[in-house]
Structure 1
Amino acid sequence: MSLVQKLPIGLGLACMMMLSSCLKEDVQTPEPQVGGVNESSGLRGDVSADPNVPPGGWQVLPQIPATSGLLGLGVYAPGWRKIHKELPASPQVLPSGTSNFKYLWGSLNSPWTKKLPLIPEIPSTASFITLAAVPDNEHWADAAVAEARLRYLKPGKKYVINVFVASSITSESEAYPRYLWMKVSKCISNTLAQGTCAVAGAAVLIKEQGTWVKEEIYFDATDTEMALDLLAYAGNAQGKTGYFNIYIDKSSIKQLN
């Protein structure tokens, strides 16, 4: 009788111990997830520095399209387009498109006279926008302008855009261009920013030939969307044309305050 009475108690204790063990193994306290945000999406989880975003919210970063894309004359990476110096555009508009480190427009028939060096930390398969340079002051109407849309800006904030620039030629009959016009505009249209439309910009003198130079353009945002315009100018005594190559990636724009 004593054995019969103790047996259920022992089984009960054993079951309780087994159940406790199972609960400890199967039930785990969830740990906070680290990361999980796609950096290319333009969102950032750390918003402590921005008083305009509530705790736990997301901050949208400024965006600029990268220049890497399909190769070709008249071909632009997504987010870029060709506009004109003025309208109606001259029928002799200077060529523009996308090239790589070895060939103009990516064409095997148009190698650079001097192969362009690689850009540090940039893949060798990258591509960039190429603009034929305006040869002299009489040919401004022939200029082709590369334009990118800047998005998710905060009016009143200061920004900087980092740009890699390299001049190049495909024959000895050409000449390395010297000036790259960079403008940030509050007017988004089919012509180059003029007058009060341009909020920042200048002609940048590029002294080195056939090598990459890092340039910067600073501006104050006046709207949530603005435009970056690029135009090449030969600036040589011979009035000969050449090419400017411009490389920009999605991390090239930064907010400064």
Structure 2
Amino acid sequence: MTSLHKLPMGLSLACLMMMSSCSKEDALSPEPKIESVNTSSDLRGGVISAYLPYLAGTNGQPGLDIYPLNWERNNTNYFSTNSVTLPTGTSSLTQLWGNSVKWAKPLETIPTAPKANSVVTVTTKACSWAGEFENQASVKTKIKNLIPGKRYAITYYVASSIHALQDSNGLSSYATKVRVSLSDEGHGGGNYYVDLTGIKAEWVAQTVTYAAGSTEADLAFSAITQKGKYAYAHIFVDKNSIIKLD
């Protein structure tokens, strides 16, 4: 307004009229239409289509209490919350937690992902599923972008291993069985078991068919071992581990 005071009265009035006219035009100008893009980011530089199911892979930085994106310790359903006696985290194919002691027998290369070098690890001293949740550590992730009523095929690899510095009292052992649980608010899912008896540091693949009950589902992983023993069990999945069947 200071600059307008220096102008002749007529010119000042003209400028004010022009400014008023421009303001009205701006107010009447339609806002540009922005199309809604139905996608979400996986925070790793990629974009996930909302029409494709999303299961977070287990590739990540190894470490105790460290987990790949969208994975976490499962402290629900009565599983152990004691991360000291029953730890969980991410291991490499050669070392517990990636920077600790080496496995007595390195884990095999994953057949469908030869460059993958990290897996999610749980511990267990339970010898039975019934009534021994407090003796099992568990991990979980959330499957997203599901369509209720549609069927999906989910493939994962599981294994067990022993670290090279086995307990002097001989308590270390390979897991005898692992369980993958799927559950959603629509009551879809179930428990799926893999028998690892006699299988040492070798990957076993399992593919299950899951009928979605809602748009999201929890996938949980846990294991059991011989009575009086202590074991490490592992799970591997990647972005290709889930496909829509219909």
Q: TM-score, normalised by structure 1?
A: 0.68
Which structure 1 residue ranges, 5 or more long, are not aligned?
1-39, 44-58, 188-195
Q: Distance in 2 between matches of 1:176 and 1:89?
A: 19
SS at match of 1:184: strand
The Cα RMSD (Å) is 2.4
Query: Contact 2:126/2:224 (CA < 8 Å) preserved in 1?
Result: yes
SS at match of 1:105: helix
Q: Distance in 2 between matches of 1:115 and 1:72?
A: 17
Residues 1:251 and 2:240 aligned together: yes
Query: Contact 1:84/1:143 (CA < 8 Å) preserved in 2?
Result: no
Q: Distance in 1 between matches of 2:80 and 2:158?
A: 26
Return the offset for 1:202: 2.5
Residue in 2 that maps onto 1:24: none
Return the offset for 1:134: 3.3
Which amino acid counterpart does residue 95 of structure 2 have in structure 1? Answer: Y
Which amino acid counterpart does residue 66 of structure 1 have in structure 2? Answer: G
Q: Bigger shift: 173-182 or 147-156?
A: 173-182
Which amino acid counterpart does residue 160 of structure 2 have in structure 1? Answer: S
Query: Contact 2:105/2:161 (CA < 8 Å) preserved in 1?
Result: yes
Residue in 2 that maps onto 1:42: 48
Query: Contact 1:93/1:142 (CA < 8 Å) preserved in 2?
Result: no
Residue in 1 that maps onto 2:97: 105
Deviations 1:8-38 (A, max 9, x none): xxxxxxxxxxxxxxxxxxxxxxxxxxxxxxx
Return the offset for 1:85: 5.0
The 3 A distance-change label for structure 1 pair 131 and 89 is closer
Residues 1:201 and 2:191 aligned together: yes
Q: Distance in 2 between matches of 1:130 and 1:78?
A: 14
Larger Rg: 1
Which structure 2 residue ranges, 5 or more long, are not aligned?
1-45
Query: Contact 2:122/2:232 (CA < 8 Å) preserved in 1?
Result: yes
Q: Give every structure 1 segment of 4 or more consecutive aligned residues whose post-TM-superposition deviation is greater than 6 Å.
A: none
Query: Contact 2:110/2:116 (CA < 8 Å) preserved in 1?
Result: no
Which amino acid counterpart does residue 162 of structure 1 have in structure 2? Answer: T
Q: How does 1:93-242 map to 2 (within 5 A)?
A: 94-107=86-99, 109-137=100-128, 139-170=132-163, 171=166, 173=170, 174-187=172-185, 197=187, 199-207=189-197, 208-234=199-225, 236=226, 238-242=227-231
Q: Distance in 1 between matches of 2:91 and 2:124?
A: 15
Q: Distance in 2 between matches of 1:151 and 1:93?
A: 32
Q: Distance in 2 between matches of 1:245 and 1:150?
A: 19
The 3 A distance-change label for structure 1 pair 156 and 93 is farther
